[in-house]
Amino acid sequence: MLGTLREEIENIYKKDPACNSVLEIFFCYSGFHAITAHRFFHKLWIKNLGLLSFARPSLKFFIRISAHITKILTGIEIHPAAQIGKAFFIDHGAGVVIGETTIIGDNVTIYQGVTLGGVSTKKEKRHPTLGSNIIVGAGAKILGNISIGDYVQVGANSVVIKDIPAYSTVVGIPGRIVKMNGELKDAINNLEHNNTPPDFIEATLQAMGERIEELENELRKLKTPSSL
């Protein structure tokens, strides 16, 4: 557990230039509080599966109520069953929701208002699976049993409802893919989540507007009598 705490602290130091000391992390970082509590609750949750059936409901209730108290204190809701890898960083954190069957790889960073949610009422895998080295921008929603590949960047306020291949950027509602290949790796490692390509619909409309303006100018010239 101490090794895990050290890794979490080192990860925050690496990713947040506003961090000045270990004391700040312990007392001021709600994301650190939430993920530390979750790792403890998750271990209990997994061990609970091996208990006799009569003992499971009471322990599950204890874990869920403990996670609920953590949500009240931090503003971050993580279901104890969610599987989260190493170097997971929740920056700011307010309003983050991570559902029960969510799976998250290593070196993933998410910002405030992110939802990793489900779209089914059945007892099944209904939450997303995120690979490694991913950034999810503020307010983004990733919904359903979908897969997000490695080195993916999800733009702020995007709504993702389909699988996303590795080395892609997703923007818009619903999320649309703009591939950046290897260029995205450096942007993610440096947390440059503002370094996203323009929305292709917006770019198309802008190009159309410029073309229409050119045609109007040409038509205006044709209508104007030439001077002798």
| pTM of the predicted protein model | 0.75
DSSP secondary structure of 157-187: T-EE-S-B-SSEEEETTTTEEEE-TTHHHHH
Q: Is 104 helix (H, G, I), strand (E, B) or coil?
A: strand
Alpha carbon separation from 155 to 41, 98, 213 (Å, rounded):
30, 18, 31
Indicate if 93 and 192 belong to the same structural domain: yes
Indicate if 167 and 183 belong to the same structural domain: yes
Indicate if 147 and 185 belong to the same structural domain: yes
Tell me how far apart the alpha carbons of residues 141 and 86 are, in angstroms, rounded to a whole number: 22
Indicate if 124 and 134 belong to the same structural domain: yes
Supply the pLDDT for residue 125: 93
Please choose, from the candidates 136, 37, 47, the residue with its C-alpha nearest in 3D space to the C-alpha of residue 79: 37
Supply the pLDDT for residue 199: 57
Indicate if 118 and 218 belong to the same structural domain: no
Tell me how far apart the alpha carbons of residues 90 and 35 are, in angstroms, rounded to a whole number: 8
Expressed as residue numbers, the domain containing 167 is: 2-197
CATH number of 110's domain:
2.160.10.10
Indicate if 23 and 126 belong to the same structural domain: yes
Strands 141-143 and 153-154, by their bridges, are unpaired
Indicate if 64 and 170 belong to the same structural domain: yes
Indicate if 169 and 151 belong to the same structural domain: yes
Supply the pLDDT for residue 58: 74
Burial (Cβ within 10 Å: 0-12, 13-18, ≥19) of residue 154: buried
Indicate if 218 and 132 belong to the same structural domain: no
Structurally, the chain folds into a number of domains equal to 2
CB atoms within 10 A of CB 187: 18
Please choose, from the candidates 168, 186, 167, the residue with its C-alpha nearest in 3D space to the C-alpha of residue 177: 168
Indicate if 215 and 126 belong to the same structural domain: no
Output the CA angle 180-182-187, nearest 5 degrees. 75
Please choose, from the candidates 120, 169, 123, the residue with its C-alpha nearest in 3D space to the C-alpha of residue 146: 120
Q: What are phi and psi of 197, to 5 degrees?
A: -65, 160
Buried b (16+ CB within 10 A) or exposed e, 5-40: eeebbebbeebbeebeeeeebeeebbbbbbbbbbbb
Indicate if 189 and 211 belong to the same structural domain: no
Alpha carbon separation from 30 to 4, 27, 55, 107, 124 (Å, rounded):
17, 8, 32, 18, 30
Supply the pLDDT for residue 200: 58
| Continuous H helices in the chain | 2-15, 22-28, 30-48, 56-74, 183-189, 200-223
Supply the pLDDT for residue 219: 87
Output the CA angle 210-171-100, nearest 5 degrees. 165
Indicate if 23 and 127 belong to the same structural domain: yes
Query: What does pLDDT average to in each consecutive run of 10 residues of the chain (228 residues)?
Result: 77 84 87 92 80 65 91 94 92 91 94 92 91 93 94 92 91 82 57 58 75 87 68
